[in-house]
Amino acid sequence: MPGSIGPLLPSDEQFHHQVVETFASVGQSDLAWAEKVCGMAAAIDGSLQIGFGFGKYTNRNVVDAYAGIARGTEQWVVRASRALHSDTESVNAGPIRYEIIEPLQQVRVVLEPNPTQPIAFDLTFHAAAGCVVEDREDRRDLHGFRKATDQIRYHQTGRASGWLEIDGERIEIRPEAWVSTRDKSWGVRPSVGMPPPDLEPDYQQHIPQALAIWNPLLFTRDDGSEYAFHHYYLQFAGPGFLHQRVQGGFEDASGKTAGISGMTPALQFEPQTRRLLSGEFRLQMEDGSERPLAFEKVSETGFYLGAGHYHGGDGQHHGSWRGELHVDGDHVRDAADPQVIERYGQFRDCVIRVTDPVGGGVGYGNCQTYVHGSWPEFGLEQPAGH
């Protein structure tokens, strides 16, 4: 298509432009550019969990989505992918829909009944804390020539309402019994589409030791008042180098209220599967105080994001072209089976129960972890990836 200006879209009627271009174009032509939503909702008793994600890849003409349910170690997922040009004004794909009810406060995610898997849900997220923008993720490749990651993200913690169905059995989702977290990001990110075969292997394959923790929580005090917490911890290490970074803090309806300057993790994993069991986040606060958060997993229930092709799960990648419309899914009876984890990868929405003696609250939320290499302090002696 000739011309230096992208085609007009309905979005161009709105007063939201920030660059001299139409909304058909993003700021660069990198094929890894993505705008994504990822979220979860879970019963705090550990019985059931929902996972969902949506992606828009403007430079690939792709929109894709996944929606799934976990019950114990059993997990179902429906995936959909379509051409962006067929509907530029939404990220709906097949039976999976996303609706903004109230910006920065309420969103709705629907998985319609479908022939792919015997699951459906209608979920509304209700904010319990403000949206908080995280630090920019800015990482380069091994030699520093290309930004392998350049994105911003905001997260939010809240509660959920609605219903879900498994095999025709409908279960109510009640806000007092469910916690929910969500995030939205945009920019250049890893693992979008299949890796080009003629490029140098990704630098992360060369790192002997890595730990990532992403952890939004919602706390409730005895008097019923609520507050939230989030932290994002990264550590990459090898002979002669160490990269360690942490960000986050406590939050309320106005946003962040108390930031952290450091965090020492003390974690326990199941050695073979590297599923998170329990531990403590030893926080160093910006005011110089220390604040320990002890936690334990709530149950075996947890949703593996690789089922939605996150980070190359099942050998597939989000953002890949699958045609004008493609819908498929998957069902596993035991997601804790090492062979399933080999397929899906480690990243999992694991619900944990947390105690905060300083703040006086007991919290529930999502703890995503990725641990690679040998970590004797965590009881992990053998290298593992995925």
Q: Is residue 89 part of a domain?
A: yes
State the CATH number of the domain containing residue 370.
2.40.370.10
Residue 88 lies in a domain: yes
In a domain, 112, yes or no: yes
Note the pLDDT of residue 71: 99
Place of tokens 């589409």: 193
Residue 205 pLDDT: 63
Residue 113: pLDDT above 70? yes
DSSP string, 140-180: E-TTSSSEEEEEEEEEEEEEEEEEEEETTEEEEE-GGGEEE
CA gap 44, 299 in Å, rounded = 9
What residues make up the domain containing 89? 32-195+204-378
The burial of 63, by beta-carbon neighbours within 10 Å (0-12 exposed, 13-18 middle, 19 or more buried), is given as buried
Q: What is the pLDDT of residues 38-67, one digit of tens each?
A: 999 999 999 999 999 999 999 999 999 999
Question: What integer best gives the mean pLDDT of the chain?
Answer: 94
Predicted pLDDT at 383: 56
Q: What is the token pair recorded at 193? A: 């589409």
Q: How many domains does the chain have?
A: 1
When pLDDT is averaged across residues 92-113 and rounded to a whole number, the result is 99
What share of the chain in percent tops pLDDT 90?
Answer: 85
- Kindly state whether residue 325 falls inside one of the protein's structural domains: yes
In a domain, 264, yes or no: yes
One DSSP character per residue, 65-112 reads: EEEEEEETTEEEEEEEEEEGGG-TT---BTTEEEEEEETTTEEEEEE-
pLDDT recorded at residue 196: 85
pTM, full prediction:
0.95
The band of 2, judged by pLDDT with boundaries at 50, 70 and 90, is low
pLDDT digits (tens, 9 = 90+) for 219-263: 999 999 999 999 999 998 888 778 899 999 999 998 888 999 999
